[in-house]
Structure 1
Amino acid sequence: MKNIKTIFAAYAFVIFSASSCTKDFLDLAPISQQNGNNFYKTGEDMKNALTAAYGGLQYGGLYYSSMHIIGELRSDNTEITNPNAGSDLVAVDDFQNIPTTSISSNTWAGHYQAIQSVNIVLEKIQAVEMDENLKARYIGEAKFLRGLMYFNLVRVYGAVPLVLKMINNPQEGYTYGRESVDRVYNQIITDLTDAETALPYEYVGADIGRATKGAAMSLLGKVYLTQKRWDLAANKLKEVIDNQVLTKYQILPNYANIFGAANENNKESIFEVQFKGGVSGEGSPFTNQFAPIGSGTAVVSVGNPLGQNIPTADMANAYEAGDVRKAISMRTSYVLAGNTVQHNYIAKYSGTPAASLDSDVNWIVLRYADVLLMYAEALNEQGYVPDGLAFTYLNQIRNRAGLLSKTSNNPDVSLQLPDQASFRLAVEKERRVELAFEGHRWFDLVRTDRALTVMSSKGMQIHHTIFPVPQSQIDINPGPIYQNPDYPN
């Protein structure tokens, strides 16, 4: 990781893994060759352990690949245009993924491995003699990470096991069954509330990139919005906006300045997964992943173009005329050997990797534009107000994109939002084009109960809005771990 670099290998143990029946607890020693029994002694040890927990965000089952596959490819934003991109990706795109495909199993396993790293920090730090303020901050950071990971899990699978302590041996894993969605959300809210209390508004130097108070507040607002607790969502998101002087968050004047390695951790960014090209295991894959198969070096000059998350024609048409975000977010053609090839591809993550799948580009999880649009949505859901405050925040995002404001009684019908329903759809559309390819679209459609309607209207045979529980997990622990409806058992 760029600023909070993973400098040692933490304990890793995926509960319910296929090997848990036969293998001992996986104990990976750090670079110093100390083992877990004598490592966690000082504040510096805990800093390293926490940094390793941040490293979990880079796992293939998290933000290296799974979260953008689920958040974008599952939606109407992107598609697989070349089957050579991978059969499991095609299955997600076509709503044919089954419990034995790698996307479900990698996402489950990666998140629980990362949660184990967080739980180790939370358990081991209690006995360490160190600065109490720093200890409280580390606990807050760890709880933010755990809250984020469980927020991902509950949105992807629904009910999931709720593991809140370090797992010490394989047999402990069998005691955990799937907990109700409500209980998982209650724990997420507890973790994020605790994190908000403990975390600072900002960091400097090498600590830039760690979770902040604003990140915890913003994520908590999104959690409340997902639960349709409009008043709580609006109040929490308003806190983020009202504390702008302390958080330093702002809408950058130029949309292009949000993205790319040169712009990471900017004032619009609230929380990013840090990647660093040219450092073993620290680079991001997005530049290669999103380049069209067959594009050679026309789109990405180093490494193979993999053809994942290709923007749909519907996505390209979603942008209004004059929207500056389109050219920054995606392209519709490239030039290869002097010939123009018509092919959509994502441009937000462009760059020159150090090697294949080894770019310097971060993944933005939360940014301030997301907060403003969520706040506008929460206000509207509490009650439509003609040209009220919700319009202010919606239009702030539109105006930055070079678009005219929408009003309640605009003489231009295309800019008129006369009621709550029309404002609701306007926010949905604005989120789509503002946050395109950042992993939000599928979760937005599910959150607003619009997934079935939207995807069916575009010809997709959608059967379910949550993913299958990996069959391997059910086979290992049948009963406590069971399959979601409409999937084969």
Structure 2
Amino acid sequence: MKINLYKILAVWLLLSISGCADLNEKPIGVFAPETFFKSPKDVETAVLGAYGVIASENLFGRQFICALQFRGDMVDIGNRATSAERIQVNDFNMDSNNGMVGRFWPQWFQAINAANSAEAGGISLGLPDEEINHLIAEAKFVRAFAYYHLVRMFGDLPYINFAVTDPSSLKTVSKTPEAEIYAGIIADLEFAKQWLPNTQKNNIRTRPTAGTAAAYLASVHLTLGQYQEAYTEAKFVIDNKALFGYELETDYEDNFKASIANSLKETIFAFDFLGQQAVGGNNDDSLVPMIEVLNLTGGYGVSVPNMNVYDDWDSRDYRKKVSFIDTLVVDGVKRPYSEFSTPRPHIGKWARDFGNGNAIGRYSDHNFSDFRYAEVLLIAAEALGEINGPTAEAAGYLNQVRARARNWAGTQTNFPEDVNPTMSKAEFIDLVLEDRRLELAFEWKRWYDIKRRDLGVKVFTGPNSLEPHPNFDPSRDYLMPLPASELRINPNLAPNNPGY
């Protein structure tokens, strides 16, 4: 079920009145939550507005998720005539003036501001917990979601968990240590897990539930190396999957079809786009044209896997077939990838079925999933493997994901085989990480795995690099720079991250 576009428009107006273009400059106006919010409906409207900010070209429509794709070792730049800022992100030679960062940094803080305002507004109503806490919990979830992405990308950064009614107060804001930000994220998610419903109306997956909060808690704890907590939260989701309505889709490819996005049970949390209804930068999905073939479809041909990624992937794995387009039929003629503008297989996910988009897939109907149930199973496998080694239970979670990969659109195959838990702990963890790489290919998760597991030197400079970058520097490149414009406005944010 799509979020009503008119609600997004209404809240976009609210944000233009109440928000700031960035942390410190150009405040258009302010409002006091205790005077603006008159009912729970007003709080809900502000929360929906935060989703509208995130479902934008600057975040989940292109800039942010493409930056994450470029940073990993699964996606390279195809069309090198694209903007220099994208090449810099991909090639690990960006600086603090990078335009991609300059666009998605303030957009995240707009979403945070909307969530903070919704939370403060909900509290100001003075209603019983049972009447208002589910909306306060949703606002807290959105804030946690935004900061979880930001802290992994930037490390220490301003942590603002209050409604801004006086923009001048932000002129002296300073960076918050990463550990404190994670503590805030966990606290928000725990509140959300307690107060969010088990399912949303019409079972939509574009608003969070208690299961959504638990899944993100599992991910946060995994990122922090808190494996017992990660396992506990993942196991909670798995044990209650019927309550939350989660299960693996029978056909892996269904997860990437816009035409059935609203009925997917594997989706835990997604951002939806309404076909050809972009408004002022919101609802503008430009990811699909970024991955489309330049000369044959009219796409941009920018986010294109390195040839090594394709060659290294066993062709018996159905996930490879789904994840790539290596031939296209144009005017009735089959065209191999050797005839593509960038002569490499392109990303197939999202490109085959984008719903009511334009000819190259812009302004699509996609619900871009940030979390799928498959990832919960992989978190449980990895966390339990770290705790007890490759037990039958840990292997069982991984094998559920592998069993689905053996289903070629209804035809059962025997690859990949089930894992027998007789290997060493290190071998099992490596296998889980490899399955994450394949299962979540091109879904902007790989960079986070590289960072949390300190794999950068291995995957970018090692002899088996899929996307070699000999200049990768772990002392610099695990973080992106804070925008130079922010440091010029507010020197309290200095120094920038190391190397920038």
TM-score strictly above 0.5: yes
Aligned to 1:354: 357
Aligned to 1:11: 15
- 2:385, 2:428 within 8 Å by CA — same for their partners in 1? yes
**1:90 aligns to what SS in structure 2?**
helix
TM-score (norm: length of structure 2): 0.87
| 1:144 paired residue among 138, 141, 144 | 141
**1:45 aligns to what SS in structure 2?**
helix
My pick for the range that moved more, 227-236 or 170-179, is 170-179
Aligned identity (percent) is 28
State the Cα distance separating 1:112 from its structure 2 match.
0.8
Structure-1 separation of matches of 2:400 and 2:43:
42
State the Cα distance separating 1:331 from its structure 2 match.
1.2
Alignment of 1:76-475 (within 5 A): 76-128=73-125, 132-205=129-202, 209-265=206-262, 266-281=264-279, 282-295=283-296, 297=297, 304-336=298-330, 338=333, 340-342=335-337, 343-350=344-351, 351-355=354-358, 357-385=362-390, 387-402=391-406, 403-409=416-422, 418-457=423-462, 458=465, 459-460=468-469, 461-463=471-473, 464-475=477-488
Describe the superposition over 1:16-69 as per-residue Cα deviations: whole angstroms up to 9, x where unpaired: 557x1xx444459xxxxxx98864212222221221112121133421223322
- 1:50, 1:121 within 8 Å by CA — same for their partners in 2? yes
Structure-2 separation of matches of 1:89 and 1:208:
31
RMSD: 2.2
- 1:162, 1:178 within 8 Å by CA — same for their partners in 2? yes
- 1:290, 1:310 within 8 Å by CA — same for their partners in 2? yes
The letter of the residue matching 1:278 is Q
The letter of the residue matching 1:320 is D
Aligned to 1:32: none
Query: Are the structure 2 counterparts of residues 136 and 4 from structure 1 closer, same or farther at C-alpha, using a change threshold of 3 Å?
Result: farther
Query: Are the structure 2 counterparts of residues 146 and 189 from structure 1 closer, same or farther at C-alpha, using a change threshold of 3 Å?
Result: same
- 1:17, 1:472 within 8 Å by CA — same for their partners in 2? no
**2:270 aligns to what SS in structure 1?**
strand
Structure-1 separation of matches of 2:240 and 2:80:
47
Aligned to 2:413: none
> 5+ unaligned residues in a row in structure 1: which ranges?
29-34, 298-303, 410-417
- 2:21, 2:27 within 8 Å by CA — same for their partners in 1? no
Structure-2 separation of matches of 1:445 and 1:52:
32
Query: Are the structure 2 counterparts of residues 220 and 37 from structure 1 closer, same or farther at C-alpha, using a change threshold of 3 Å?
Result: closer
Query: Are the structure 2 counterparts of residues 7 and 207 from structure 1 closer, same or farther at C-alpha, using a change threshold of 3 Å?
Result: farther
Count residues in correspondence.
462
Aligned to 2:72: 75
Aligned to 2:61: 64
- 2:71, 2:89 within 8 Å by CA — same for their partners in 1? yes
Aligned to 2:411: none
**2:191 aligns to what SS in structure 1?**
helix
**1:307 aligns to what SS in structure 2?**
coil
My pick for the range that moved more, 220-229 or 106-115, is 106-115
Structure-1 separation of matches of 2:112 and 2:170:
13
The alignment status of 1:55 with 2:68, answered yes or no, reads no
State the Cα distance separating 1:128 from its structure 2 match.
2.7
State the Cα distance separating 1:396 from its structure 2 match.
1.2
- 1:68, 1:437 within 8 Å by CA — same for their partners in 2? no
State the Cα distance separating 1:320 from its structure 2 match.
2.2
- 2:194, 2:210 within 8 Å by CA — same for their partners in 1? yes
Structure-1 separation of matches of 2:115 and 2:192:
13
Structure-2 separation of matches of 1:292 and 1:26:
43
Aligned to 2:412: none
My pick for the range that moved more, 170-179 or 278-287, is 278-287
**2:371 aligns to what SS in structure 1?**
strand
Structure-2 separation of matches of 1:478 and 1:95:
25
Aligned to 1:2: 2
> 5+ unaligned residues in a row in structure 2: which ranges?
338-343, 407-415
State the Cα distance separating 1:420 from its structure 2 match.
1.1
**2:326 aligns to what SS in structure 1?**
strand
State the Cα distance separating 1:71 from its structure 2 match.
2.4
TM-score (norm: length of structure 1): 0.89
State the Cα distance separating 1:121 from its structure 2 match.
0.5
- 2:20, 2:167 within 8 Å by CA — same for their partners in 1? no
Describe the superposition over 1:57-92 as per-residue Cα deviations: whole angstroms up to 9, x where unpaired: 113342122332232211110111212222111111
Query: Are the structure 2 counterparts of residues 146 and 128 from structure 1 closer, same or farther at C-alpha, using a change threshold of 3 Å?
Result: same
The letter of the residue matching 1:363 is F
